[in-house]
Amino acid sequence: MRRTLLAAALLASALPAFASSFGGTTGGASSAGSSASSDSSSGDDKVVLQARDDAASFVASEGRIRGAQLEAALRALRERHPDMRRASDMQLAQAILAR
């Protein structure tokens, strides 16, 4: 139980910064294009956003269904956010769905 609370606290502290980059831009296509090229995290954000359906399947199946997009998102999250490496796949999938 204590490990679960610790992992949840880690996720809670790391995800706001991660999720804040989901906002995108409102300045039109050229602005969005320049933002994507200048922000190296935008590719990771896209990978995570595209994994929502896979994350939902994973959570609903209690971890039995593991889609390729979820796998890519888990890898991206752990590479970009070292503090998320200790979180379980289920915790990260739930966090993806919470955003």
C-alpha–C-alpha distance, residues 38 and 10, integer Å: 28
- pLDDT at residue 45 in the model: 86
- pLDDT at residue 42 in the model: 65
**Tens-place pLDDT, residues 38-89:** 345 566 789 999 999 999 999 999 999 999 999 999 999 999 999 999 999 9
- pLDDT at residue 76 in the model: 95
Helix, coil or strand: residue 90: helix
**Both tokens of residue 25?**
């831009």
Query: 44 Cβ partners below 8 Å, 6+ apart?
Result: 76, 77, 80
**Both tokens of residue 20?**
């804040």
- pLDDT at residue 9 in the model: 47
For residue 34, how many other CB atoms are within 10 A of its CB? 12
Asked if 35 and 42 touch (Cβ cutoff 8 Å), the reply is yes
Rg (CA), the chain: 14
DSSP state for residue 89 in the 8-state scheme:
H
User: Whole-model pTM?
Assistant: 0.60
